[in-house]
Structure 1
Amino acid sequence: MKDVFEMWWFQQGLSFLPSALVIWTAAAFIFSYIIAITLHHVDPALPYISDTGTLPPEKCLFGAMLNIAAVLCIATIYVRYKQVHALNPEENRIIRINKAGLVLGLLSCFGLSIVANFQKTDFFPVHICGAVLTFGMGSLYMLVQTILSYQMQPKIHGKQVFWIRLLLVIWCGVSAFSMLTSSSLLHSGNYGKDVDQKLHWNPEDKGYVLHMITTAAEWSLSFSFFGFFLTYIRDFQKISLQVEANLHGLTLYDTAPCPVNNERTRLLSRDL
């Protein structure tokens, strides 16, 4: 077997999962942004992320890529759940927190899919619900995973992992608070009734400063998510999953079950 030290970092365990998640999601944002500003659908200076995927043709790419990102996110969150559970099989408190993290993470992924498929100009309330699930549940997921990191250090991993994740959670919290505060003020009704559907902003428009603060906070919040999932790379280098096929017979005809040899196959990764 090829020695682990001769492998590229993304070949070790399942480390490619969080890497692919971050790269793919960032690519979805970048490609949609480039198309949107090229076609003058949005302003180049810090549009809402969702605005770059509101009009065709970029909304088709935005939706398709974010749906795939949601699947990658589900896989990443599930692997993390299995890893924490396997490392702490007797720790009931950690197991309970880990299950809560799984639920929060899956809800965040569901919200991401909603954001991808329901544009704000067409289904604004549904789009906002998706954004709340994505960022709200995602932020809580990061907090739960940071708590788990605290519970598992220094026995399972070093203290630096916890501190890095804690800093990212603080970054996430500051960004989320800034976005929520400025967005609430912007949509209070004092700056017009069309702010929900507005794609182009001028510096002289009422609420322009609040709009820029909100969009900057949204991008900052997304980057904090990217950073957090990147901290999984080293952890995922030390795990692989297997799938087992249990056959009830040697053929697919309706015959009496007979014992057969079950087949075990590595799932997405080689064993280290």
Structure 2
Amino acid sequence: MWWFQQGLCFLPSALVIWTAAAFIFSYIIAITLHHVDPALPYISDTGTLPPEKCLFGAMLNIAAVLCIATIYVRYKQVHALNPEESRIIRINKAGLALGLLSCFGLSIVANFQKTDFFAVHICGAVLTFGMGSLYMLVQTVLSYQMQPKIHGKQVFWIRLLLVIWCGVSALTMLTSSSFLHSGKFGTDVDQKLHWNPEDKGYVLHMITTAAEWSMSFSFFAFFLTYVRDFQKISLRVEANLQGLTLYDTAPCPVNNDRTRLLSRDL
């Protein structure tokens, strides 16, 4: 059996590969058509103009679905491993809510381009990166709470380092972006797709974009830490029938159907 056939580990793997492909393909098309500069454009800039924006939006919508599935499976796994730990259950529910909000923000980023709906796009980016960072923090806390009985210390330290990486990138992006959009460097920085080294705010722009890409990579690396955990879980779906027909209202005992969902038992 190949590693990606074990449990549900293909979910986080597919999420990272698909999302990275969305960024790379959109970047290549935008560079080829000279819609953005090759040197570190904003991720959203590579999906602003057609035709790359069509591919960018479609692929990120699918990535949001994969992210929802991954976050939900992680939630069910932690809940199953700690059925009587009230503190962990509460933290786990908070992580689920934060993760779903981040996925919703990703869908907004995919469908509302920066040059057309700047305010909506920024709200989506705040949800994606802000709630996503908090989700990573919550999952790291859960890893700490479950060690060493359920989680190994090595996994906790790896996730903690990734959270620190994400936090430094987020703080850098927030600080440099605040200065860049303060009005001292012109009023067109929100819509600007091409930057020259002679432009005012060019250095801040490069710092902001580098921090954005760095933060995205920290997300990718964090979800890859789920691969080993997801090798040890599978889900089942159970259909409880209340009658022999779809229009029969009288209760009637029938056999229930229990089948595997997406994976085989281990």
**How far did residue 257 of structure 1 move?**
2.8
2:227 partner SS: helix
- What stretches of structure 1 move > 6 A for 4+ residues in a row? none
Distance in 1 between the 2:170 and 2:245 partners? 56
Task: Name the TM-score, length of structure 2 as normaliser.
Answer: 0.99
1:145 to 139, 147, 162: 139
- Further displaced range: 255-264 or 83-92: 255-264
* Per-residue Cα deviation, 1:222-263 (whole angstroms, up to 9, x for no partner): 000000000000000000111011112223343633111000
Distance in 1 between the 2:64 and 2:119 partners? 20
Q: Map residues 1-272 of structure 1 onto 2, 5 A cutoff.
A: 7-254=1-248, 256-272=250-266
How many pairs were matched up? Answer: 266
2:260 partner SS: strand
Distance in 2 between the 1:9 and 1:86 partners? 23
* Per-residue Cα deviation, 1:130-152 (whole angstroms, up to 9, x for no partner): 00000000000000000000000
1:62 partner SS: helix
Distance in 1 between the 2:50 and 2:251 partners? 54
2:98 partner SS: helix
CA RMSD of aligned residues (A): 0.7
Distance in 1 between the 2:251 and 2:166 partners? 54
* Per-residue Cα deviation, 1:23-56 (whole angstroms, up to 9, x for no partner): 0000000000000000000000000000000000
Distance in 2 between the 1:255 and 1:141 partners? 44
**How far did residue 62 of structure 1 move?**
0.4
Distance in 2 between the 1:250 and 1:50 partners? 52
Any unmatched runs of 5+ in structure 1? Answer: 1-6
**How far did residue 212 of structure 1 move?**
0.3
* Per-residue Cα deviation, 1:178-209 (whole angstroms, up to 9, x for no partner): 00000000000000000000000000000000
- Further displaced range: 253-262 or 235-244: 253-262
